[in-house]
Amino acid sequence: MGVIMKTLLSHRSIRKYQNRPIEKEILDEILKAVQAAPNWVNLQHISVIVVQEQQRRKKFAELCGGQKHIAQAPVFLVFCADFYRTWQACKENGQEFDSVVSQIDNLIVGANEVGIALETAVVAAESFGLGTVPIGDIRLHAFEAIRELNLPKYVVPMLGLCVGYPAEEPGQKPRLPKEAVCFEEKYNSDLTGLLKQYDEQYAVYLRERPWNSRVGDWTGMNADFYRPPYCHYPEVPEMMAQQGFLSQR
């Protein structure tokens, strides 16, 4: 098995980090890998804000729901969907932009590119022996995050990523059976048996892991997370409108 495959298949989220900085050369290589990642029509609709200053990492830990590992990790990366450069290009060419960027497909494009960029950063970081954990709660207090990062219109904070040298070995969560995720030719919606099988496996994992043990299964956790009325990130709709991404269709 190749080194890249070993890196991909050994991924786990790290939430405890050594008090050790990341070498500048390694961080630069990670960011180079992010820029080399695939993107749509070479329009490159992402930006990355590198947060290293300790007090600012503590601030983002607070903004992201009190996640202490953000303050502990030596580097916190914020991945943004970024159409500001495209706005500049359109302005220089005398083109109107707001009616274009507000079409919902552009939000899909930006989210796709952020996902690709973040996963590239994860693989690159782990290839250097670093640990990572993505942070969706950068959108929890979205307006304050925008102010802290000085983001202009047409730029949206989508995901954060803690990066640092691991101070734990948490093991891997079991994943869904391949047959519940990967299909031949057509989607197979008969998933009841596969989900039951996974629930049993996941329940054992929850009972046996050495920290934060709880009783439950995957479908129960899933349903509970999306229990109505669901509004995990209440600021997002208004924030998207402020930043120019509100669909007009």
State whether 166 and 184 are in the same domain: no
Q: Does the pLDDT at position 83 exceed 50?
A: yes
Same domain, yes or no, for 71 and 123? yes
Could you tell me if 188 and 164 lie in one domain? no
Let me know whether 120 and 214 are in one domain: no
185 and 96 in a common domain: no
Residue 46, classed as helix, strand or coil, is strand
If asked whether residues 160 and 189 sit together in one domain, one would say no
pLDDT tens for 37-68 read 999 999 999 999 999 999 999 999 999 999 99
DSSP 141: T
Of residues 233, 68, 81, the one with CA closest to residue 162: 68
Angle at 58 between CA 56 and CA 62, to 5 degrees: 115
**What CATH number does residue 54 fall under?**
3.40.109.10
Q: 249 pLDDT exceeds 50?
A: no
196 falls within a domain: yes
When divided into structural domains, the chain yields a total of 2
Query: Structure tokens of 23?
Result: 């070498």
Residue 218 Cα distances to 62, 143, 188, 201, 230, angstroms: 28, 32, 20, 9, 18
Phi, psi (5° rounding) for residue 18?
Answer: -70, 155
Q: What is the pLDDT of residues 1-30, one digit of tens each?
A: 888 999 999 999 999 999 999 999 999 999
DSSP 49: E
Q: 124: how many CB neighbours lie within 10 A of its CB?
A: 23
Does 144 share its domain with 50? yes
Residues 15 and 118 in one domain: yes
| Residues 39, 64 within the same domain | yes
Alpha-helical (H) ranges within the chain are 3-9, 24-36, 54-63, 68-72, 84-92, 98-101, 104-127, 142-149, 192-208, 218-225, 236-242
CA angle in degrees (0–180, nearest 5) for 142-145-148: 155
Whether the CB-CB separation of 138 and 145 falls below 8 Å is answered with: yes
Q: Which residue has the tokens 């950068």?
A: 138
Co-location of 79 and 12 in the same domain: yes
pLDDT given for residue 2 in this prediction: 87
Element (H, E) at 116: helix 104-127
Domain assignment present for residue 23? The answer is yes
Q: Do 15 and 107 reside in the same domain of the chain?
A: yes
Could you tell me if 59 and 109 lie in one domain? yes
DSSP state, 19?
Answer: S
Range of the domain at 206: 178-222
Each residue's pLDDT tens digit, 84-95? 999 999 999 999
pTM exceeds 0.85: yes
Residue 96 lies in a domain: yes
Query: Could you report how far apart the first and last alpha carbons of the chain are, in Å?
Result: 48
Of 187 and 3, which is predicted with more confidence? Answer: 187
